[in-house]
Structure 1
């Protein structure tokens, strides 16, 4: 089921929300909460549970409790992956019998649930698996225009298209979410001196699309091109790309390499690996060509180092450039 269908129907029973766009999931959670729970009755009829701390018995008991001064009781279960690992075979039978007064939503905001297992298949078979995936070109135009208008600004269709093209949202090489795009829009609007978003404001905020620079940086890393990787890192730095974001892309690339090598070694098919990692054909092809450059033990050790560095950048004033350049050199050593 596409997420937009939720806004056109009356809900009851159990659903699974999953996908890469956490902003869309969060919007749907807010919409359902406000639509079905009267103001002031949230304490009695609205509940959020953490999946790793929730037992099947507790959830069943809560779902069977009638709402108070409301037609519905709404329950959200976060971190569904952790919860799904401990459910019994009879849990599906319970879900089939949930009363119409109850809306139970499992949230896979990290998009980590194994879609080959029975928990996901239960929802898929009943068409109650709701995907919140990346927006297509027309949808992202509507999203950006709507956001700008709600903030009290105007923009022409021409400048709207230009703005979206200057962002990295539609990039094949950059994992940019709507939350990232929203942050870029907020930064741009904060620079406005009027109520119109025009090309000059867009250029002032988004000085250059960093798509090609990020791609070139990651490509140089995985090809063990030390000089090229350092050059592209410095280009990104000149474009004021945050070190934290560059490091995030570095960490993601190493994680994907590890997953590819492990799954390929376990005889997974290409399409199964893409689905498991969550990448498209274009990026998969790039990873497949360079994976032979690395041993999995090295990648695991380096991944741990990157996570430590990531934490240190958040908590201390270390010399970011020196640290990142040192990691780049070590990763690309032949």
Structure 2
């Protein structure tokens, strides 16, 4: 990093500082309250294995990577995540279980039951048709012989985009969409990082793959660090599968906010300065984007400052 080049993480810290100082204070769905701004853009260069992993606090990139792989399976149940030690989705089904049964079960006990009991997991671990379901199995319906609608074949948007990047790189339709209006009320949480659009710049062996992620709602302190890692990883997998070089990750936020109960985290993080250049290596190229394993990813030169924790608003 040259002395006159600003560390890309300052974009994140500047955003956090701006929201905390100037955001519109408002009540939200969770009842916690936020400070919010609207319409934000951040840009990160993914060339040379760069990855937007925050260094001013530890980001648990392994959990973000496992979550992205889970999305690509189309699964909507938290059981596979919990088996891998990823607990970021537990709050929503746990809240539903407690409300439905009145049982004051601890999070640890609930997670253990999900892992140990497949029937319990099926009944209480499903999140509805979130993210991966829409990405790889968007539902369709068609007229049956009796003139009534019947379920048709699901649409694998991810596979379609991989193919379109190979066959029609100049297309403006390389889009993966999670916002299925007809199914929002069945989702534990409607998609926050809802739209991914890919763009090919340049030609031949120097062609680069860019990604723009539009996020309708963003918890900057807890969610955004995960979202940046996930989007960067998806872009890298897409680039590898289509013989393109990694380009730029452009992140765009709608309602971009900090929760009012994240004061300690925000104030502590804003006292820190970014340093270092983490790298993300893909050590294997499988036959398809759906065949990646966690062992195929290697993060190097990541030496973050200490972890900063805050409660998740559900």
TM-score range, shorter chain: under 0.3
Normalised by the length of structure 2, the TM-score is: 0.26
Normalised by the length of structure 1, the TM-score is: 0.25
Higher relative contact order (CA 8 A, sep 6+): 2
Of structures 1 and 2, the larger Rg is shown by: 1
Name whichever structure is richer in strand by fraction. 2
Name whichever structure is richer in helix by fraction. 1
